Structure 1
């Protein structure tokens, strides 16, 4: 078991103590690295293992760096800080990996520079070597290697002359800018969805993989027909609304995130503007639904702010509200991770979540009633009474 004495020894560069700290934190690093890897490769495959290995190294480095700035006096505080630090570092790593097409990170450039030397200056050969030659943990994925190559070569000015001694007369006095299509015409006013067909199709495939088929035959048939229709054609508003009615969100935190993200993509595929971006005479039901959703989000956050900190923190981390780490709830809840993140015992977390859900429901219903929607408030109150009583779900 990790103790504060071992942590202090590790801070004084004791190799055995440092190894003990790494070993004590390796399990949570592995869990967080796996979650980060699945954000990059949600459908598994060979790239999942590569990302998992890469993110595990990133997490271990974050733990090692944390040792130099840890000043608290308990091992429990160090473990809590470890979870938060590694989680935030891996979120940054995922963002960097997703944005790698726009550039290359510093570590990738260092690896690529070594490979350029090994390839005698051939940048294309260096991009291949960077994926296999470096030791594990330093190898680049295909995307990172390509981004590093582009960054190494630099940008090409659009004013660069196209001509040369062997160029045809067409290119002799031309630049790249002369061959870039341009138009002075005004846009035709067509309103396009926020995401394209490819993203929508990918979202449908995610739903096909992770959504549980309803037991009700009618709902199951509606789910199958709607998903099939969306795969072969662009999703329509009625189809997305039908999915929202029949899709059941999984209890597993990771799968739930995939499903919710996929539904958000489909909603964007049938939405053409953010709330408030259109004149009143151009509004339709999609914009009204977006405004209603924004209002609900604001009401949820305001309700949470009115609650005690312990109950508020447990609820935020149970449902991933406001950017908090989503540990889930019910059968798919990571109670150990939730307890460590909040510094609470199992019994405290369970009690705060049970009481917090009841307090939230009561305050949220009151907030809805204040808007004048008394009928809707009555429905919510009845649903809360049915779901939060001892015989219902805690």
Structure 2
């Protein structure tokens, strides 16, 4: 089992320790590389093995590069960080391999449209439902569901105002992302808590960690506060001092846009407090998501420990180490982590998903009976052997 001492040695460029880290993450790299390869060559063939080898190497490089960025103090946090990094890196590699040509095909849009009614017209909810409710063969991948939602919503002009009630209330998207200097007395547009959280996530992903210890501490403290949807002028100033703008043009734009959003957040807030008048549609969606997360956690807590642990670590719920599920599952890794055999993991996962579905549907039925009926039908079709119990 990988130790924290080995991690520290690897961060100090100890080659033997780096090799041990690579070996400890190899099973997850292999699973995700195979999953990425099958996106490029879904019908197999000669190219599948080539893609698998190529993406495996990309994943190993991602592990090596992420070592220097890891700042936590335990091995489980490292694996959680590394697995997320590998998955995100390989998704980017697939998109790059496709030359950015991925879009919404006609069938994906039709499936998405059918989910809009079940989602009460919420396109973000419909995007999630399109990945689970349709029968096998019709179900959309995360990428196709996202592309279908974007196609359904259409392009948003950068000059579109951010408030439907008043064209002059919040300015345009271009105003929010503006990085030009302004006079101190000019009030910038307001932004919501959701945009602050997204900006913090962008900075976490694309900003190099400061080398100086004091600067790094101030940087991490400011990001932690922004991740909750709040920030202050002092924290934004600390970020401006600590953030090193990347040289890559695309990444540089992401970082500069994120900083512009944070500046806008504090320019109209008293001591950084984002009150209700700053709330946007993004915040409403996030509040809905928090409610769903609480519902999921309540259902999981009512289940047996073995089934609950397998499900949490299959889907990365509530910060649990995510080993994946289905074709993307690191079965060897999750079995070793939970101290179970692989057949036991499979059995607990199958029974746990059915038990969770019954509990979740019962809770949803209390205030959304129509959606509960759709979920019940989907569970009956997807969680049984060809419809048999």
Structure with max Cα Rg? 1
Q: Do the structures match in fold with TM over 0.5? A: no
Which protein, 1 or 2, shows the higher relative CO under an 8 Å CA cutoff with sep ≥ 6?
A: 2
Q: TM-score, normalised by structure 2?
A: 0.40
Q: TM-score, normalised by structure 1?
A: 0.40
